[in-house]
Amino acid sequence: MQQQGRTVKLPLALMLSLASVAAHGACSHVMRVSWSHWPPYSMLNAKGQVEGLDIELVQRIAKEAGCTLAISGDIPPKRQLAQIKAGEQDIQFAASITPERQEFAHFSPSYRSELMVLFAEHGRGKSIALQDMRQLTQRDWTVIAPFQGWYGEAYAAVSPVLDKENRLTTYKTTEQGLDQLNAKRGDLLLGDLYSFLYVARQRNMPQPDVLPVPVNDDAVSLMFSKKSMAPGDVEAFNRAIDKLNKNGELAKIIARYGIRK
């Protein structure tokens, strides 16, 4: 630093502090984020680079917050949850708020919505008379569902019955779930509406039928580790989401993927 024509030497501690601010922006450190294969939200492109809707959204939010991200993956959601709890990961995206998670994590305002539905194999939807999720416990239908995660109160209420009666099969990826449905490993498939329609299009295969049965239509948030995220870091992200929600920037990114806000 120069002042009136002469060089002023800064103390080493102050120099390191300034360098840290320059590197991390408004945050106290580089924010660690992981992803798992979940098209079109997070996936590898032909160049081996991670991309997708949630990747774009979290990058835009971090930029607005003045923070730097370190993105790693492909890490399964269950392991990510354990890392958030241990403070080994700072942020997990597409998180639903539950009382159990609030014990070890903070949550941002909603940055997008998530729509879970029931699918039937292409051409079979009209033959399945189902009005609500509770009927799954009264019929003999078998269900293919995600291996883990929170998918609403309605599914949480019926899944123990399905599991006890050996009528529940699980999948770990959208592609696997779609293959199981088409191979008749189950009558119905529970999953994210846009993920399954996207994968079916990408694979040039008939899209599964969507049943008009309410499953879970909810907002999702960023989940912050209480062990590793300082209150100021959380506030920076929350302010950024509020601003980007209000000015419509997040909605524009979401719309490019053909997904409603």
CB 177 within 8 A of CB 191: yes
Going by pLDDT thresholds of 50, 70 and 90, the confidence category of residue 148 is: confident
Going by C-alpha positions, the residue among 185, 164, 165, 167 that lies closest to residue 176 is 185
Distance CA 81, CA 100 (A): 11
Tens-digit pLDDT profile for residues 220-245: 999 999 999 999 999 999 999 999 99
- 114 pLDDT above the threshold of 50: yes
Identity (one letter) of the amino acid at 73? G
The pTM is what?
A: 0.85
Q: What local confidence, expressed as pLDDT, does residue 1 receive?
A: 42
Tens-digit pLDDT profile for residues 2-54: 334 433 343 433 333 333 333 345 789 999 999 999 999 999 999 999 999 99
* Beta bridge partner(s), residue 114: 218
Domains and CATH numbers, the chain: 2-113+218-256 (3.40.190.10), 114-217 (3.40.190.10)
SS3 of the chain: helix, strand, coil, percent, to 5:
40, 25, 35
Name the DSSP class of 39: T
- The region that residue 65 occupies, defined by phi over 0 for left and psi between -120 and 50 for alpha, beta otherwise, is alpha
Q: What local confidence, expressed as pLDDT, does residue 25 receive?
A: 54
